[in-house]
Each structure stands twice: as structure tokens, then as C-alpha cells.
Amino acid sequence: MSDRIKMTTPLVEMDGDEMTRVVWRKIKDILITPFVDLKTEYYDLGLENRDATDDKVTVDSANATKKYGVAVKCATITPNAARVEEFHLKKMWKSPNGTIRSILDGTVFRAPILVKGISPLVPSWKAPIVIARHAYGDVYSAVDARVPKGAKAELVITEENGAKTVLPIKDFAGSDGIVMGMHNLDSSIESFARTCFEYALSEKMDLWFSSKDTISKKYDHRFKDIFAELYQSEYKERFEAAGITYFYTLVDDAIARVMKSGGGFIWACKNYDGDVFSDMLATAFGSLAMMTSVLVSPDGCYEYEAAHGTIPRHYHKYLKGEKTSTNPIATIFAWTGALAKRAELDGLPDLADFARRTEDAVLATVASGKMTGDLALLTSIPDAEVLDLDGFLNAVAARLA
């Protein structure tokens, strides 16, 4: 077809595993290539090819994302002992998402997709709450130990020139106990803050950040200060011009406000808070299959994906020739998010319009009562029609055409 929408810069395409690899192919064939003259630089992150390339393909795909600025990623298997055996792997390769994140130095933003007929568990939430987790340090790379009764624990800081500062933690005179030392880096906190400010500007959404600085007067306070200093020096004017706000509050106040809010903002969280609250938000917004995720680097590279995994249970049914009612929505939105970002960077209004119309067609299809089985269990729409994967994609394509 010659009248398909043209692209200029290639999108970095990272293929993946199992059922999501099947979903990936079908989305491209049914929803995208009939309408867009798709230009991608393809990287096969399927586990067989990661093994065959000694995982070089993952590194190459991350470097391509640095070069072009926008990637779309399919869910991939993170190998464990069982997968090493199943796929006869040379070794237990690292999580591709972890590898890509460390190369891009990025922050993951998780955003729920809201649709008529699937209500969040919190009735006041009318717009998405996007959560950003600082995925470095704190309790995740802490050193901890059990301490016997009678021992003393101290914190020792030895400077480059040998100068020592010794801070007493606790005299365990009366009881056995436990102790932990954890750290973070100004550079990592600043890069997290910068990514959050950039993403808020790119989405035109307010940004919240929370910590416990009243209790943790040096540690959490440092996070608060770094955010505040960067905001004042580089982002205040741009936020005001964009009509958005930056708001800091204590984490317990934040949670109270989040529950009463109407949504529609980005919530930046410290590592542990983000781990815990992202699972709470995903559940409260409905389904893992309706959660998208975007990795944003401080220098403005974007990698879009669905938050769910490779859905092996559905894949085993598919391999037996059975139909599955797999929900492709988060993966479709990963594609539309990436295409829309490419369109924005390259000034391609037709491509931007296609991405928006595809998302609208998905939402209208569900709102009309046609949906996959996972949503049919949650919906308030009476007599919802449960479709299989192909049936749902074809219903969306029919609307789009």
C-alpha cells in the first residue's frame, strides 16, 4: 500500500518471548503494518537468541536506544534455574530489563490504562496515577547483620585521606539484635530527579515526590534537597510555563492524599516505597494487563513496554492449538506510546494521529462490551462479549479502519 503513514527515524524494536511474542507479531500484522510503513531496527531478545549471542543482543538493543531515542520492548523471560534447564542455556543470563536500565541509567514510570466499564477500586480515581521508582540503592543493596548481646554497632566513614568518623548506632547490652547499613549516591538521586522532572514536562502532569525527611534527617533529607535544588535551578520556570507543579510531601501524607485524589499526576518514590506502592496501584487500577511502563533516561531516551510478563500459561495453551483470551492492550499501548514519541521527535502529525486513534479504538472496543476474559471478570458492563486474542485485535482493527 502506498498511502500508508511514513516514518523517518527507525524505532528500536525489541522482540521477546512466549505468549507476548505471539501477541507482538499479531499486533504488528493486524493493527500496525496495514496502516503504517513501519520502520524499525529489529533486535531479537527472545531467550534463544540472547543465549546464542551471549546476551550481546540485549546490550546492542540498549545502545541502539541511546542512538535513536525511542524503543518498544516485548516481555522477555528472566532466566531462573528452571529456565536454564528448559532452554539448555549456556548460563543464567541477567534480566534484560536490568541490563537495559543500567545502560540507559533510566527510571521506570508505570502508568495504568483507564477504560470505561472497568472502575478503579478507589472510586475517586478518574485519571491515571503514574508511579516512578528510584531503582537504586537503599535497602536493596544494604549490608545487614545479626548482633549478639553485649556487642556494640558503629558506623565508620573512612575518607580518602584516612580521616575517620565513627558514629555509635547501638550498644546491644541487654539483648541480641540486628543492624543494617545502607547507602545512596547524590549522582543517582539527581539523575532520578532529573528524569522525573523531564517526564512530567513531557506528559504535562504534576509531579509529587515523597520521603520521610522529618525522621531521616540526613538520609531522606538529602533526597528532598536534591529534588528541591534541581527544581529551583533548572525546572521551576519550565514547570510554570507548562502549567504544572512540583510538590514535595512526607510519604505518609502522600499516601493519604493519593487515596483521596482524582489521579492525574506522577508520584516519584524512593526505592522501597516504589516497590510497594506500584503493586498497590496496579491492583487498585484493575489488571496487570492494563499497565504500561516506560523507561526514561535522564538524557531523554524512551523505552516502552507492557508491565506484565510473557504469560507462559497462555503460551502452553497456544502451543496445543487452543485459543487464548490474552489481553493485548498494554502491549498495544507500548507500541502506540513509542510511535507517538517518534512522531513528536520527528514532527510527524499523521503518525501521532494514528497512535491516538489506535488507542481510542482500543478503549472504544472495550467500552462497547467487547473484551478479553480478564477484563470481562472486572467489568461493570452487563453481558460483555468475551473475545479471544485474534477476535479482540480484529474488532479494534475494524474500528480503526
Give residues in contact with ligand NAP (CB under 6 A): 75-78, 97, 288-289, 305, 308-313, 326-327, 374
Per-residue burial over 356-390, b = 16 or more CB atoms within 10 Å of its CB, e = otherwise: eebbebbbbbbeeebbbebbbebbebeebebbebe
Roughly how many angstroms between the first and final C-alpha of the chain, as a whole number?
A: 14
* Residue 323's binding partner out of ligand NAP, Mg ion, none, with CB under 5 to 8 Å set by partner kind: none
Determine the longest span between alpha carbons in the chain, in angstroms.
81
* Residue 369's binding partner out of Mg ion, ligand NAP, none, with CB under 5 to 8 Å set by partner kind: none
The cell for 227 is 529534588
Distance in Å, CB of 274 to Mg ion, minimum: 8
Residue 193 vs 338, nearer CB to ligand NAP: 338
Residue 87 vs 248, nearer CB to ligand NAP: 87
Q: What is the dihedral of CA 109, 110, 116, 121, to 10 degrees?
A: -130
Residue 240 vs 279, nearer CB to Mg ion: 279
> Taken in order 107, 9, 76, 353, is the CA torsion positive or negative?
positive
The cell for 73 is 520492548
Q: Give the Cα separation of 297 and 88 in Å (integer).
A: 34
* Residue 62's binding partner out of ligand NAP, Mg ion, none, with CB under 5 to 8 Å set by partner kind: none
Per-residue burial over 157-179, b = 16 or more CB atoms within 10 Å of its CB, e = otherwise: eeeeeeeeeeeeeeebeeeeeeb
Q: Give the Cα separation of 37 and 30 in Å (integer).
A: 13
Contact footprint for Mg ion (CB under 5 A):
275, 279
Residue 107 vs 327, nearer CB to ligand NAP: 327
Distance in Å, CB of 75 to ligand NAP, minimum: 4
* Residue 273's binding partner out of Mg ion, ligand NAP, none, with CB under 5 to 8 Å set by partner kind: none
Strands (E), 270-350: 291-296, 302-306
Q: Residue 365 in contact with residue 399, Cβ under 8 Å?
A: yes
* Residue 279's binding partner out of ligand NAP, Mg ion, none, with CB under 5 to 8 Å set by partner kind: Mg ion
Distance in Å, CB of 319 to ligand NAP, minimum: 15
Residue 33 vs 283, nearer CB to Mg ion: 283
* Residue 348's binding partner out of Mg ion, ligand NAP, none, with CB under 5 to 8 Å set by partner kind: none
Distance in Å, CB of 283 to Mg ion, minimum: 11
Distance in Å, CB of 287 to ligand NAP, minimum: 7
Please identify the residue of the shown chain whose CB is closest to the bound Mg ion: 275
* Residue 362's binding partner out of ligand NAP, Mg ion, none, with CB under 5 to 8 Å set by partner kind: none
Distance in Å, CB of 231 to ligand NAP, minimum: 31
Residue 50 vs 308, nearer CB to ligand NAP: 308
Residue with cell 584516612: 162
Alpha helices in 69-204 (DSSP H): 81-86, 96-104, 186-203
Distance in Å, CB of 375 to ligand NAP, minimum: 9
Q: Give the Cα separation of 175 and 189 in Å (integer).
A: 36
Residue 309 vs 369, nearer CB to ligand NAP: 309
* Residue 271's binding partner out of ligand NAP, Mg ion, none, with CB under 5 to 8 Å set by partner kind: none
